[in-house]
Amino acid sequence: MRIMLRCLNAALVAVCLACGLAAAGGPARAAPAILVDAATGEVLYAHRAFDRWHPASITKLMTAYLAFSAIRAGQLAPDSPVQISKNALDNPPSKMGFPVGTRITLSSALKMLIVKSANDIAVAVGETVGGSEPAFVELMNRTAGRLGMNATHFVNPHGLHDPNQYTSARDMAVLARAILHEFPQYEFLFSVPSIKVGKRVLRTHNRLVGRYPGATGMKTGYICSGGYNLVASAKRGGREYIAVVLGAPNGSYRALVAAHLLENGFDGMRGFTSGRYGSIESYRGRGAEPFDMRPYLCKPRSQRPPIPGSIASYGFEVPIAQGDADVEDSEEVDPMSRRGVAAIQVSSRRASSRAERIAALLAGPATGAPVNANGLLPADPLASMTLPRSIPFPPRTVTVATGGNAPAAAQAAAAPAVAASSLANNDAAALLRPSIPLPPRRPER
């Protein structure tokens, strides 16, 4: 997508609210957003943060959280096998598409889950952690209740659309903060710009990663009914913030909104925050039922109503840039439609230097080298692929019990070191070791 560097204090044009009312069967409303201090839990900004929303692939944050929890509990290890079942493979894209019976390490599966947003891998991880997909979904909902995510209900581990799967901006901020606090040693996984699987390089859909200063990642999501969602985090000067943006009209706009939320936090804009929200734990309420964005995003273009300006409003002026769809907007494919991209039309107003800077960052090339995710087990159907040595999932501060009850850290100390030149986070490379023996390298064909 081409992002114009002239940024705008924007209002959407070509608005047809009457068409929107007729198409969606109800009034179009502003989409939810929230900004939270990751350390203190203070809510710095919130807009419709209790409204229920279809989460799409930000669901996978809970899948990852439960995998981390299983490692912490000693039930699994980073090199535990994750096997692809028929139930996993049958899920629609986005997916890896490995044949039934393929076994990969949990370490590699988590990279594919977070960076590629692979739906088949999400199910395979859920089956590995919970024993079956239904049992894992039950665990997801129990965990959501324990964390206080009172506006959330899960039906699957990947986020493909189900009318009974919903969350809120507030609840996703709670989950993101739990991940950052309970599992800081795995935070680097969410900021990986791309992974290398065999000969393929798969890039993250999160435009902030490798572009926005201090971005520490998290997760994107898209389905027709929920629009473009993003849970983003960034850290600078000892401060870390979490921004949640739900229901954006395209992938670039959600990144812009998140970047401006985060920038407001780092700028200490107390006029922006007003100091009226309190902590995320006590900030609770009941919002509206999920709003369906499908008519605006996934009908044939000739039948789509223009996107009402209220849908792209997050309660504050967002300097945005004129844009259209790009390849990074094509994420999780809704099984009901292969189309899910809507352009933003904006009016011409004065630009700001901060807006120009943010737009330039998000339009520029991403930095960071691919991280290997080639933890295929021996005798695997894909063993004929050209496989560099794997970079494992390093348990720096977590003691992981193995079959012999020996701490993983002790095993790592006895194992040979692996070069970490392609690891995105050097701090996480302290205990690198080969995850498992890999088949011999074969010449490329």
Q: Total structural domains in the chain?
A: 1
pLDDT beyond 70 at 324: no
* pLDDT at residue 320, as a whole number: 53
Helix (H, G, I), strand (E, B) or coil at 297: helix
User: Does residue 338 or residue 322 have the better pLDDT?
Assistant: 322
pLDDT beyond 90 at 135: yes
How would residue 141 be classed by pLDDT, with cut points 50, 70 and 90? very high
Q: How far apart are CA 360 and CA 275, in angstroms?
A: 31
How would residue 375 be classed by pLDDT, with cut points 50, 70 and 90? low
Containing structural domain, residue 332: 8-379
Please state the rounded mean pLDDT for residues 66-83: 96
Q: Are strands 194-197 and 239-248 parallel, antiparallel or unpaired?
A: unpaired
* Lowest mean pLDDT segment, chosen from 76-80, 327-331, 340-344: 340-344
Residues that are catalytic: 57, 60, 117
* pLDDT at residue 424, as a whole number: 29
Please state the rounded mean pLDDT for residues 159-168: 97
How would residue 443 be classed by pLDDT, with cut points 50, 70 and 90? very low
Residue 165 domain-assigned? yes
pLDDT beyond 90 at 247: yes
Q: How far apart are CA 282 and CA 290, in angstroms?
A: 23
Residue 428 domain-assigned? no
User: Does residue 309 or residue 157 have the better pLDDT?
Assistant: 157
Residue 41 domain-assigned? yes
Nearest to 219 by CA among 197, 196, 260, 251: 251
Residue 148 domain-assigned? yes
How would residue 361 be classed by pLDDT, with cut points 50, 70 and 90? confident
Give percent of the chain above pLDDT 90. 54
pLDDT beyond 70 at 445: no
* pLDDT at residue 364, as a whole number: 81
pLDDT beyond 80 at 244: yes
Task: Name the token pair of 72.
Answer: 């912490």
Radius of gyration of the chain (CA): 21
Q: How far apart are CA 69 and CA 428, in angstroms?
A: 18
Q: How far apart are CA 105 and CA 101, in angstroms?
A: 13
pLDDT, tens digit (0-9, with 9 covering 90-100), for 394-422: 333 332 233 333 333 333 333 332 222 22
- Burial category of 404 from C-beta neighbours within 10 Å (exposed 0-12, middle 13-18, buried 19 and up): exposed
Q: Which residues pair with 236 in a beta bridge?
A: 239
Determine how many CB atoms are found less than 10 A away from the CB of residue 50: 19
Task: Name the token pair of 179.
Answer: 């991940």
* pLDDT at residue 273, as a whole number: 53
Residue 431 domain-assigned? no
Residue 426 domain-assigned? no
Give percent of the chain above pLDDT 70. 68
Q: How far apart are CA 117 and CA 133, in angstroms?
A: 17
How would residue 362 be classed by pLDDT, with cut points 50, 70 and 90? confident
pLDDT, tens digit (0-9, with 9 covering 90-100), for 28-55: 567 899 999 999 999 999 999 999 999 9
Residue 420 domain-assigned? no
* pLDDT at residue 28, as a whole number: 59
> Residues with Cβ < 8 Å from 223, sequence gap 6 or more?
54, 56, 159, 160, 161, 332, 334, 340
How would residue 77 be classed by pLDDT, with cut points 50, 70 and 90? very high
Q: How would you label 208-243 residue by residue, b for 16+ Cβ within 10 Å and e otherwise?
A: bbbbbebbbbbbbbbbbbbbbbbbbbbbeeeebbbb
Between the alpha carbon of residue 281 and those of residues 18, 266, 277, 284, the distances in Å are: 38, 22, 11, 7
Is residue 314 within 8 Å of 257, Cβ to Cβ? yes
pLDDT, tens digit (0-9, with 9 covering 90-100), for 97-111: 999 999 999 999 999
pLDDT, tens digit (0-9, with 9 covering 90-100), for 196-228: 888 889 999 999 999 999 999 999 999 999 999
Determine how many CB atoms are found less than 10 A away from the CB of residue 83: 16
How would residue 258 be classed by pLDDT, with cut points 50, 70 and 90? very high
* pLDDT at residue 218, as a whole number: 96
Compute the residue count for the chain.
445
pLDDT beyond 90 at 182: yes
Give me the CATH number covering residue 47.
3.40.710.10
pLDDT, tens digit (0-9, with 9 covering 90-100), for 1-18: 343 333 333 333 222 333
* Lowest mean pLDDT segment, chosen from 170-184, 343-357, 405-419: 405-419
Residue 338 domain-assigned? yes
